[in-house]
Copies of this chain bind each other. A is one copy, B any other.
Amino acid sequence: MSIRIGILGYGNLGRGVESAIAHNEDMELVGVFTRRNPENVKVRTAGVKVLEASELEHMQDQIDVLVLCGGSATDLPAQTPKYAADYNVVDSFDTHARIPEHFADVDAAAKKGGKIGIISCGWDPGMFSLNRLYANCILPEGQDYTFWGKGVSQGHSDAVRRIEGVKDARQYTIPVPEALDAVRSGKNPELTTRQKHTRECFVVAKEGADLAKIEEEIKTMPNYFADYDTTVHFISEEEMKRDHSGLPHGGCVIRTGVTGMDNEHKHVIEYNLKLDSNPEFTGSVIVAYARAAYRMSKEGMSGCKTVFDIAPAYLSSRSAEDLRAHLL
């Protein structure tokens, strides 16, 4: 019998989860739930219904795991605890500073409902977190580095779009090659924000807009750009559509550390992702953890879990014997 998945929220991530389900033979998409008018939402999986979110009030028997694809700012802090009382859920909550609070809320609800709630699932937080943890445990004396990109940052693109005179914008985060080389060589450099990443913006300006003013506003924007070397390119709408319609991303987590009775040996552990589609990859991680939620729930577990709490074998549809014989 398939694992029956529901998706709440059908933006980029919801579509990424839908595509991931299509790649996993033991899973089935039961329905896409939306707060919009379902008639205006068109999904890509044949035969799958789009339903109002309110339908989730009485579909507990039809869904094994509900994947929550809302935003971390306002959607998930309310949605994940709410639905964890009735469903096994997985979210991709990524406001690092608020994770402890979110965990507590989801844990209380999930325990009360006897369900599993997996939070902060994706690649960062998610696979990058896992690799930070494993590498820290193996090399207790060392240094962590995380680089993002080259890839589109949606938050930064949105920030540029909010500037007066900007019609559309896309922002790429790019690791500085010299910084990456220095880290990989084991030199343990101390790197400032500016030394680690550069930012590149492609902007479609409205007719008659003051380009110099837009560029200045981008480059001096606090938090988002002021601490970085930023390049701004003004392009046409056609160029934007032709060259920048994808959502590629990636990056790497590197830990360098020492072993030996006199710290005489250096080691470099690197986990590296190159992703053509950020939301589809994130959706693929989430779906693997949805399988884990289903299996842990079947075994009678409940409460909030993160990638740290879940034995890797739970992510796989293959038996423990098969995994040991072929992947160990």
- A172 interface contact, C-beta 8 A: no
When the two chains form the complex, which single residue of B45, B137, B281, B311 contacts A267, counting CB atoms closer than 8 Å? B281
When the two chains form the complex, which single residue of B132, B267, B312 contacts A327, counting CB atoms closer than 8 Å? B132
* Given contacts A100-B325, A137-B288, A327-B132, A311 and B313 within 8 Å (CB-CB): no
What are 28 residue pairs bridging A and B, where the CB atoms are less than 8 Å apart in the complex? A19-B259, A19-B260, A19-B261, A44-B261, A100-B321, A103-B324, A127-B134, A127-B138, A129-B328, A132-B327, A133-B313, A133-B316, A134-B312, A136-B327, A137-B291, A137-B315, A138-B284, A139-B284, A260-B277, A260-B280, A266-B276, A267-B276, A268-B272, A268-B274, A270-B271, A307-B312, A308-B327, A311-B311
A133 nearest CB across to chain B (Å): 5
Distance, CA A259 to CA B129, complexed state (A): 22
- A48 interface contact, C-beta 8 A: no
Task: Contact check, B306 vs A280: say whether CB atoms are below 8 A apart.
Answer: no
Q: In the complex, how many residues of chain A place their beta carbon closer than 8 angstroms to a beta carbon of chain B?
A: 72
Task: Contact check, B311 vs A324: say whether CB atoms are below 8 A apart.
Answer: no
Tell me which residues across on chain B come within 8 A of A120, comparing CB atoms: 328
Distance, CA A19 to CA B140, complexed state (A): 12
- A55 interface contact, C-beta 8 A: no
* Given contacts A267-B276, A281-B138, A20 and B316 within 8 Å (CB-CB): no
Tell me which residues across on chain B come within 8 A of A273, comparing CB atoms: 267-270
- A71 interface contact, C-beta 8 A: no
Distance, CA A327 to CA B186, complexed state (A): 21
Distance, CA A129 to CA B328, complexed state (A): 5
Tell me which residues across on chain B come within 8 A of A265, comparing CB atoms: 275-277, 280
- A24 interface contact, C-beta 8 A: yes
Task: Contact check, A130 vs B284: say whether CB atoms are below 8 A apart.
Answer: no
| Contact pattern, A 212-235, Cβ under 8 Å of B = 1, otherwise 0 | 000000000000000000000000
- A5 interface contact, C-beta 8 A: no
Tell me which residues across on chain B come within 8 A of A260, comparing CB atoms: 19, 277, 280
Task: Contact check, A137 vs B308: say whether CB atoms are below 8 A apart.
Answer: no
Other than A259-B281, A265-B275, give 7 A-B pairs with Cβ distance below 8 A: A99-B325, A133-B315, A134-B315, A267-B277, A270-B272, A271-B272, A311-B311
A143 nearest CB across to chain B (Å): 14
